[in-house]
Amino acid sequence: MIYYFQTRALFSIYPPTPQIDFDEPSDADGDAWYRGLNTAGQPIFTVREDYVMTPSTAFHEIGHAYQDLIQRKLGGTDVMTKFWTYRGFPGTWQDALREAYAQPVGMAQWIHLPGESWAESFSVAMVGGGREKTLDYGRTINAPAMKSFFVSLMTLPSP
């Protein structure tokens, strides 16, 4: 919750509280999950029962929620294209998505997924540094500039 409230202090688009679901069993594949927005617009999160939350994981999952929240606010604006262009990644995010699904299921696929790149970028921006775990195409994140980019999305006019 502390990471959520830190994020909400910078990004007013987040609802006052998230929905936290029951923990997943210790043999679950993964550490933490963002499960979408509930009918009230709250992000839904859960973790594996034996996982000790880290800032990078928390901000990663919160970053997934930001993508949904900002996309909902901006409607027809393709926020992923704005992100992809800002990062200077090659091709389009749709190309990367096709590439991801051509990979075997698992980490090989995960590192290519555009939504995971978004969440990793959000995490690095919020932590203030570090290296993303997804494919960065040789474009290392400048954490303060990345945070400014994410904040700037909130100032775009709604359609």
Q: What is the pLDDT of residues 51-85, one digit of tens each?
A: 999 999 999 999 999 999 999 999 889 999 999 99
| Residue 148: per-residue pLDDT | 97
Could you tell me which of 14, 131, 109, 117 has the C-alpha nearest to residue 62?
Answer: 14
**Assigned domain for 86 exists:** yes
Average pLDDT over residues 81-94: 97
Task: Give the start-end residues of each E strand in 4-138.
Answer: 19-20, 32-37, 43-47
Distance from C-alpha of 85 to C-alpha of 81, rounded to nearest angstrom: 6
| Residue 66: per-residue pLDDT | 98
**Assigned domain for 79 exists:** yes
The band of 117, judged by pLDDT with boundaries at 50, 70 and 90, is very high
| Residue 73: per-residue pLDDT | 94
**Assigned domain for 89 exists:** yes
Average pLDDT over residues 133-146: 95
| Residue 63: per-residue pLDDT | 98
**Assigned domain for 158 exists:** no
Residue 159, pLDDT > 80, answer: no
Q: Percent of the chain beyond pLDDT 90?
A: 82
Could you tell me which of 13, 49, 12 has the C-alpha nearest to residue 33?
Answer: 49
Could you tell me which of 151, 129, 152, 153 has the C-alpha nearest to residue 140?
Answer: 129
| Residue 59: per-residue pLDDT | 98
**Assigned domain for 159 exists:** no
| Residue 74: per-residue pLDDT | 94
Residue 45, pLDDT > 90, answer: yes
Average pLDDT of every residue of the chain: 94
Average pLDDT over residues 105-125: 92
- Predicted TM-score (pTM) of the model is 0.94
**Assigned domain for 53 exists:** yes
Question: If you count them, how many residues does the chain have?
Answer: 159
Instruction: Work out how many domains the chain is built from and give that number.
Output: 1
The band of 158, judged by pLDDT with boundaries at 50, 70 and 90, is confident
| Residue 30: per-residue pLDDT | 84
Contact 141, 117 (CB under 8 A): no
Q: Provide the residue range defining the domain that includes 145.
A: 2-153
**Assigned domain for 80 exists:** yes
